[in-house]
Each structure stands twice: as structure tokens, then as C-alpha cells.
């Protein structure tokens, strides 16, 4: 199963998941969980839409957004 997930998301997807887990967890220390979720979602979406799609510094990928969502959900647990 681990190989199946890695094949779908790739290493970049796992980094998205980990970053979102860390962001939610750290922000949740000082702010309510719902605020941590909103801030993390805004950062993740901003990275994909602004940096990758509009500016062109990276490659826009819907899988990255899905991985961000998974990381936020895991971070809430």
C-alpha cells in the first residue's frame, strides 16, 4: 500500500502532506484549530495558484492540492 500511495502522490506530494501537518499543528498551539485549518488551506492554495500557476515558478498540480487536504485532515487529528 505504501508503494501505491508513493506512486500516486510522488515525493512532492508527501512533502505537501508533511508541511500541512506541521503547519496545522504549530498554528494550533497558539490559535484555535479552525483558524489553523483556514490559514494552512490559504497557504497551500496560495502556493499552488499564485506561485505555480500565475507566476510559473513551479508546476500546478491538483494532486498537490489533494495532498494538502490530506495533510490538513491528519494535522487535525
Who has greater pLDDT, 39 or 9?
39
The confidence score (pLDDT) of residue 3 equals 76
- Using only the alpha carbons of the chain, give its radius of gyration: 13
For the chain, the structural domain boundaries read 2-76
Read off the pTM. 0.85
CB 68 within 8 A of CB 41: yes
Report the pLDDT value the prediction gives residue 75, as an integer from 0 to 100: 93
Q: Residue 19: what pLDDT?
A: 94
pLDDT digits (tens, 9 = 90+) for 20-45: 999 999 999 999 999 999 999 999 99
Tell me the C-alpha distance between 36 and 42, whole Å: 10
Please give the residue that has the higher pLDDT: either 10 or 44.
44
Amino acid at each position: 500500500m505504501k508503494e501505491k500511495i508513493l506512486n500516486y502522490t510522488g515525493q512532492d506530494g508527501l512533502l505537501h502532506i508533511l508541511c500541512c501537518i506541521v503547519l496545522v499543528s504549530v498554528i494550533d498551539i497558539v490559535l484555535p484549530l479552525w483558524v489553523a485549518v483556514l490559514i494552512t488551506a490559504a497557504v497551500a492554495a496560495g502556493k499552488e495558484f499564485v506561485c505555480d500557476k500565475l507566476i510559473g515558478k513551479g508546476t500546478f498540480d491538483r494532486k498537490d492540492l489533494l495532498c494538502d487536504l490530506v495533510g490538513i485532515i491528519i494535522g487535525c487529528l
